[in-house]
Amino acid sequence: MTRRYSALSLFKEGLAGQTGWQPAWRSPEPKPSYDAIVIGGGGHGLATAYYLAKNHGIARVAVLEKGWIGGGNTGRNTTVVRSNYYYPESVELYGLAHRLYEGLSTDLNYNIMLSQRGMVNLCHSTAEMEIGARTVNAMQINGIDAELFSPDDVRRVAPIYNFSANARFPVFGGIWQGRAGTARHDAVAWGYARAASRLGVDIIQNCEITDFIIEGGRCRGVQTSRGAIRAERIGMAVAGHSSVLAAKAGFRLPINSYALQACVSEPVKPILDTVVLSPGCGVYVSQSDKGEIVIGGGLDRIPSYAQRGNLPTLEAVIAGLLEMFPIFGQLKLMRQWAGIVDVVPDSSPIIGESPLPGLFLNCGWGTGGFKAIPAGGTLLAHLLATGKHNDISRPFDLDRFASGRLIDEAAGSGIAH
């Protein structure tokens, strides 16, 4: 069986030339049928497979990935992990993810490099401070470790911020979550893949869904570029491509796909120790362990499936970054990229059975999917195993659009997530 990861095994392998390691996950040929199929080998899909095996004892599971695992938004995000949400439903969801993240390295025996360096959402006016207070109070009531920061507190965690008198967006304070931070995004995908594979899950890469097998009004499998694969329960976690699969299954979703861009500077020695978000500047930023300044901004304004960066958004984001941290004006941009995110009107995810019975959805995470991976996996696994909602996933069902029970964080807290 796969060798356990530890300092000792690394040391022993060091003496043996690192030749004893096994594949992190197996790459078997797909079987004709499984107990459950998960479409999408990103973080959510792999986590779903892992929890199906671990929590529900269902290991005859295939994860079908059109390209390479972790190649979508899991490998394209800015790696922030946090649960500073406003509504109780969101807190339950992202709080679950955050707690699971805290034990994930041990659980998976894979260092996902969770770095709880804290995150501050800045407030730039009295009005924003009032909403900040409203938000912090909501979080505290819901059991989240939020604090309302004074300008001095902000200065303590981000001393290189632009505190000059003529700053366009002066700091009135901020919303702080100390448990927030970053994790190594690729490692999350690989860690889940390795752990799921160990439990018997088949991870099938280069396997594209071409159609659904629908019999008696129910989804009973998929046609793929590697043949037909059947299962009674099928979950999909394909983010920005959800609408494409939904069209194959015969329904529409409340989703628009947009490019979300990110970029990194060249690596430099430690200069920024926390995650900082400025709503005024439209930018959030952290420094990776490698030393790159990791920069994220808002969505592109044009619906798109093109996974490429562009200049207008980049220019706006970088202008915002330099307004926040003028000393970054000496740095250079090293890499720019984009992921395709699935944006829902209320910016909350969709978890639940689709209009096609037997097909279950985990989508609509928009810009915030990475931080939710362990919860998205747990909840989709629960749905696939039991056919029923977990209490935490119930509010996020597709039926909320007809009932009007939207969970719009921006509506409540004024903070778009």
Partner 1 sequence: MTASRLATGGNAIDRSRPIRFSFDGATVEGFAGDTIASALLAGDVAVVGRSFKYHRPRGIWGAGVEEPNALVDIGGPRATPNTRATTEPARDGLVAKSVNATPNALADRNAFLDRFARFIPAAFYYKTFMWPDWHRFEPRIRAMAGLGTVDAGWTSPDTADQINHHCDLLVVGAGPAGLAAARLASGAGLTVTLVDDQQNPGGALGHRAGEVDGKPAAAWIAETVAALASAGQLILPSTTAFGIYDHNLVGLNQRHLDGRPDTLWRVRPREIVLATGAIERPLPFANNDLPGIMSADAALAYLRRHAVLVGRCIVIATNNDSAYDVAVALAEAGAEVTLVDIRRDGTPAAPANVRLATGRALASASGRLRVDGVTLDNATRLDADCVLVSGGWTPTIHLFGQAKGKLAWSDARAAFLPGDPVDGITVAGAAAGAVSLSDVFAGVGKAFAGQANAATPRSTGLEATGGILPAWPMPGSKGRIWIDYQNDVTVKDVELAARENFISVEHLKRYTTLGMATDQGKTSNLPGLALMAGITGRTVPEVGTTTYRPPFTPVPLASFAGARVGELMAPVRRLPLENAHRANGAVFQEYGGWLRPAHYGGNADAERSIADEARRARQSVALFDGSTLGKIEVIGPQAAAFVDFLYYNTMSTLKPGRCRYGFMLSENGVVFDDGVLVRLDEHRFVVSCSSSHVTAVYARLEEWRQDRFGRDAVYIHNATSDMATLTVSGPNARKLLETLDLGLSLDDADLPHMAVGHGTYAGDEIRIARVSFTGDRSYEISIRADRAEPLWAQLRQAGKALDAVVIGLEALMILRAEKGFIVIGKDTDGTTLPHDLGVEGPRAKRQSEFVGRRSLFTEEASRDNRMQLVGLTVPQGEAPLPTGAHGIKRIDGRLRSQGFVTSSYQSPTLGRPVALGLIERGAARHGEAIDIQNLGKISKATITAPCAFDPAGDRLHA
Partner 2 sequence: MQLFPCPFCGPRDETEFHYGGDAGNIRPDGAEMPIDRWAGYLYLRTNPKGTAREIWVHMTCGEFFVMERDTVSHKVLSSAALDGEHAA
Pick one of partner 2, partner 1, none as the site partner of residue 301 (Cβ within 5 to 8 A by kind): partner 2
For residues 417 and 407, give the distance between their C-alpha atoms in angstroms, rounded to a whole number.
Answer: 12
397 lies in the site for partner 1, by CB under 8 A: no
Output 175 or 234, the one with its CB closest to partner 1.
175
β 256-265/233-236 pair status: unpaired
Q: Considering CB distances under 5 to 8 angstroms, the limit depending on partner class, which of partner 1, partner 2, none binds residue 366?
A: none
Q: Which residue has the tokens 């892992």?
A: 50
Burial 281-311, CB ≥16 within 10 A → b, else e: bbbbbbbbeeebbbbbbbbbeeebeebebee
* Contacted entry of partner 2, partner 1, none for residue 141, CB cut-off 5 to 8 Å set by kind: partner 1
Q: Which of 230, 184, 186 is nearest to 68 (CA)?
A: 186
* Per-residue CA distances from 245 to 82, 236, 323 (Å): 29, 9, 41
With CB cut-offs between 5 and 8 Å by kind, which of partner 1, partner 2, none does residue 255 bind?
A: partner 2
Quick one: 322 or 406, whose CB is closer to partner 2?
406
Given candidates 1, 17, 216, 252, which one binds partner 1 under the rule CB under 8 A?
Answer: 17
Supply the minimum distance, in Å, between the C-beta of residue 253 and partner 2. Answer: 7
* 167/213 with CB nearer partner 1: 167
Least gap, CB of 26 to partner 1 (angstroms): 8
Q: Which of residues 274-303 bind partner 1 (CB under 8 A)?
A: 280-281, 289-291
Three-state SS for 284-324 is EEEECCCCCEEEEEEEEEEECCCCCCCHHHHHHHHHHHHHH
Binders of partner 1 in range 153-192 (CB under 8 A): 160, 166-169, 181, 184, 186-187, 190-191
Interface pick for partner 1 out of 22, 55, 225, 386 (rule CB under 8 A)? 22
**Which of partner 2, partner 1, none binds 214 (CB below 5-8 Å, type-dependent)?**
none
Quick check: helix, strand or coil at residue 30?
A: coil
Using CA atoms, how far apart are residues 102 and 112, in angstroms rounded to an integer? 10
Site membership for partner 1, residue 132 (CB under 8 A) = yes
What the block records as the tokens of 49 is 């497979």
Strands 181-182 and 80-81: antiparallel
Comparing CA positions, the residue from 206, 334, 323 lying closest to residue 266 is 334
Query: Is 225 a residue that touches partner 1 (CB under 8 A)?
Result: no
Q: Which of 37, 201, 253, 331 binds partner 1 (CB under 8 A)?
A: 331
Q: Does 403 bind partner 1 (CB under 8 A)?
A: yes
Site residues (vs partner 2, CB under 8 A) = 241, 243-244, 247, 252-257, 301-306, 310-312, 345, 401-402
